[in-house]
């Protein structure tokens, strides 16, 4: 992998990731951009014990532009974008409308491919491996930022999820605090007696087998026993590690194949003729400086808000008001469906 660092016209960092070591990236951003001005602020909620980012400047961010005006496509005559190059493999840049910035963290955009009409599931294993390398490299970079406690690599796919750009891309957030969901897992990990809680969850699912949807030599995917979402899959390396940097060569090599298979199955869940399945793909990594860091388990949570063709799982009163989820699909039947659509 070759990484090339450059700057956009307003000073934001842009990184190209290429499979070829001799690839030259010297295109210049010629747009007349003014420096980014943010109002990002993190406020603590004393009743809930969590934090909220206030980022009012994001009201003006780009929202579902037509394909010929996509800011994530390569630059071409008559269309200057966030990517000055005429093509690219993987590109990462600082978000112009960040939720977190400065002392309040950092936000980056990850463009998986220059092909506007593709999706992550359309990538080859080599292309997917390059994205994994970019995620890993950015995790290592964020670890050196004093303003970042935890890094989160994720993808929102589909208008139903709320994406504002249709081009295949994800984001990386560097939070200045440990997020609420991670804090809950760490609390459970600390309170657990016996062996490592993550290891026991994986071992229990593997032994039961009814919710396992895919197992490789180094990775296992299953629908969790208490799944929150209609179709939800968790993917774990069989050797526990705290974050992407700590994967061994064998697990890193197998990941693209396993991940692509999961994404392709998600697009088949609701049958032929249905639109692409909206999903969130969320990589959970250990906070950088937490005392239980070595006990945390890197894992992916992949889920969709679609519960059946044409119907979404709405976060209504119980979920939004009380944080108490009610799932309309049993985890066992969801797992069966995800197994049924393997390799079709």
CA separation, residue 151 to residues 98, 154, 171 (Å): 14, 10, 10
Q: Are 52 and 62 in contact (CB under 8 A)?
A: no
| Token representation of residue 17 | 């990731």
Q: Is 73 flagged in the annotation as binding?
A: yes
Q: What is the dihedral of CA 127, 128, 132, 138, to 10 degrees?
A: 50
Give the active site residue among 57, 63, 79, 169: 169
DSSP, residue by residue, 118-164: --GGGS-HHHHHHHHHHHHHHHHHHTT-TT-SEEEEEEEESTTTT-S
- For residues 130 and 154, what is the distance between their CA atoms, to the nearest angstrom? 15
Q: Is 111 flagged in the annotation as binding?
A: no
Cα separation of the two ends of the chain? 32
Q: Is 228 flagged in the annotation as binding?
A: no
Q: Is residue 169 among the annotated active site residues?
A: yes
Q: Is 70 flagged in the annotation as binding?
A: yes
Q: Are 247 and 237 in contact (CB under 8 A)?
A: yes
CA separation, residue 322 to residues 48, 133, 176, 318 (Å): 12, 38, 26, 5
Nearest to 295 by CA among 198, 152, 184, 182: 198
- For residues 307 and 313, what is the distance between their CA atoms, to the nearest angstrom? 6
Q: Are 268 and 245 in contact (CB under 8 A)?
A: no
- Which residues are annotated as part of the binding site for Zn(2+)? 70, 73, 116, 167
- Which residues are annotated as part of the binding site? 70, 73, 116, 167
Enzyme catalytic residues? 169
């Amino acid at each position: 992998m070759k990484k090339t660092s450059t700057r956009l016209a307003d000073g934001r960092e842009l990184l190209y990731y290429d499979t070829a070591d001799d690839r030259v990236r010297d295109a210049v951003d010629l747009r007349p951009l003014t420096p980014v001005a943010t109002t990002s602020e993190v406020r603590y909620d004393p009743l809930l014990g969590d934090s909220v980012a206030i980022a009012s400047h994001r009201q003006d961010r780009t929202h579902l532009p037509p394909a010929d005006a996509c800011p994530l496509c390569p630059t071409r005559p008559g269309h200057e974008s966030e990517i000055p190059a005429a093509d690219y493999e993987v590109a990462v840049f600082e978000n112009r409308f960040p939720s977190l910035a400065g002392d309040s963290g950092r936000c980056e955009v990850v463009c998986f491919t220059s092909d506007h009409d593709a999706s992550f599931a359309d990538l080859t294993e080599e292309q997917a491996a390059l994205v994994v390398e970019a995620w890993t490299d950015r995790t290592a970079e964020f670890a050196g930022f004093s303003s970042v406690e935890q890094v989160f690599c994720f993808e929102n796919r589909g208008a139903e999820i709320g994406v504002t750009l249709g081009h295949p891309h994800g984001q990386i957030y560097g939070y200045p605090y440990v997020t609420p969901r991670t804090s809950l897992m760490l609390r459970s990990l600390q309170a657990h007696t016996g062996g490592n809680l993550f290891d026991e969850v994986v071992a229990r699912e593997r032994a039961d087998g009814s919710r396992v949807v895919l197992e490789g030599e180094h990775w296992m995917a299953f629908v969790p026993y208490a799944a929150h979402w209609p179709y939800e899959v968790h993917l774990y390396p069989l050797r526990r590690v705290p974050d992407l940097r700590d994967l061994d060569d064998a697990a890193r090599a197998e990941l693209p194949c396993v991940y692509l298979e999961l994404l392709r199955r998600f697009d088949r869940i609701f049958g032929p003729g249905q639109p692409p399945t909206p999903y969130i793909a969320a990589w959970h990594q250990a906070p950088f400086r937490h005392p239980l860091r070595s006990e945390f388990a890197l894992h992916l949570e992949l889920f969709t808000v679609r519960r059946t063709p044409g119907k979404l799982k709405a976060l209504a009163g119980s979920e939004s008001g009380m944080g108490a989820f009610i799932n309309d699909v049993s985890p066992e039947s969801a797992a069966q469906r995800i197994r049924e659509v393997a390799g079709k």
